[in-house]
Structure 1
Amino acid sequence: MKNLKFLLLLFILSSCGSIVNYDYEKSTDFKSYKTYNYFGDMTTGLSELDTKRIIRAIDQKLETLGLQRSEHPDFYIDIQSQNLQNANRSNVGIGVGGGGGRVGGGISVGIPVNQNKQTREISIEFVDDSKTGMFWQALAEYRYDVKATPEERAAQFTKLVEKVFATYPPEEK
């Protein structure tokens, strides 16, 4: 029983990954887009080094999808992010129970785990100024460790980008 409780706790903690939501213009012909670039005046909300890391991760992923970065692109990419307010997850519970002619009570206190991690929301938008404007958007919420090494940060952005582009381009229905 003790092992089962440990496995359940491990599962709950490991399931706190990133959350990704998508939206796109239904009439878009995604096959017509072959080249991209980033907006020159993009303000990502990330540090300069983290901006380079996420751009590198996006470039690598889009290359595997057959898209190429170009000075004269078919569309532009905009990246924006912001810190989200973390809810205080500490709590106190009081309970009374009984059984078999006995009465008992208990108090429990919840202690937040991983307080050094913060939550960010990041938006990745594909914009075609010559046609429809924004035609694809992904909003991702993820937790990051401010004390992570540069290698850990790069790996985290790679993992996030893989999840963001897991269903790109959207399937035609």
Structure 2
Amino acid sequence: MKAVKYIFLFLLVASCGTVINYDYEKSTDFTQYKTYDYFGDMQTGLSQLDTKRIIQSIDAKLATMGLTRSDDPDFYIDILSQDIMNMNNSTVGVGAGGGGGGSFGGVSVGIPIGNNQNTRQIVIDFVDKKQNERLFWQAVSESNYRENASPEKREAYFDALIEKIFSKYPPKK
């Protein structure tokens, strides 16, 4: 039953406007990276509990890809998150006009529909600290995120999001 819940949430995250943009250094040999760790002074912008959840999701996904967490890593991971308010520009226009005798006039009023929508932007950077902190891979995701969701839903949200983010790692050249 728990697996069905995760699959449902994964499909929900995948279909509900999650946008992920990737960038990477073309000259990078991704096969050289086998171990990783997180920056010790990382300020994620998430709560402590959500930070633990996203790190657990990343650790689990990277382990399935053959990468291991190490005290002497090949690269470091940085996570940054922020809320973004998307302004709703949807309106209904009501207009009136008239004319006669060579003169014209008109009035138009826009009535907003719906509410502004908050989304969460999460940036995940892979940095080679041995090469002067060279950024070699980055994923930027933007998706709907409910701060008042239950812990189970938050965990499932991060699992599904990380699965989608790392579907393009390492990049196909």
* TM-score higher than 0.5: yes
Distance 1:37 1:165 in 2: 16
Query: Is the counterpart of residue 24 in structure 1 residue 21 in structure 2?
Result: no
How far apart in 2 are the matches of 1:66 and 1:94?
A: 59
Bigger shift: 66-75 or 79-88? 79-88
CA distance in 2 between counterparts of 1:47 and 1:57 reads 15
**Counterpart of 1:112?**
114
2 CA distance for matches of 1:52 and 1:58? 10
Structure 1: which amino acid aligns with 2:170? P
**Matched letter for residue 53 of structure 1:** R
Tell me, what secondary structure is at the counterpart of 1:152? helix
SS in 2 for 1:72: coil
Is residue 158 of structure 1 aligned with residue 162 of structure 2? no
Q: In the alignment, residue 144 of structure 1 is paired with which amino acid? A: Y
Q: Provide the residue aligned with 1:171 in structure 2.
A: 172
Offset from partner CA, 1:32-78 (integer Å, 9 cap, x none): 10000000000000000000000000001101111000111000000
Shift of residue 95, structure 1, vs aligned partner = 7.9
The gaps in structure 2 that reach 5 residues or longer are 1-13, 97-109
RMSD: 2.3
Is 1:92–1:110's contact at 8 Å kept on the other side of the alignment?
Answer: yes
CA deviations on 1:105-138 (whole Å, 9 max, x unpaired) are: xxx976427x7x6201110000001126110000
What letter matches 1:163 in structure 2? Answer: K
Match of 2:144 in 1: 143
The size of the alignment, in residue pairs, is 147
More helix by share: 2
What secondary structure, in the 3-state scheme, does the structure 2 residue paired with 1:49 have? helix
Matching of residue 123 in structure 1 with residue 123 in structure 2: yes
The residue type paired with residue 26 of structure 1 is: K
Q: Secondary structure at the match of 2:171?
A: coil
Tell me the TM-score normalized by structure 1: 0.77
Q: Which runs of 5+ in 1 are unaligned?
A: 1-13, 97-107
5 Å-filtered alignment, 1:48-67, equals 48-67=48-67
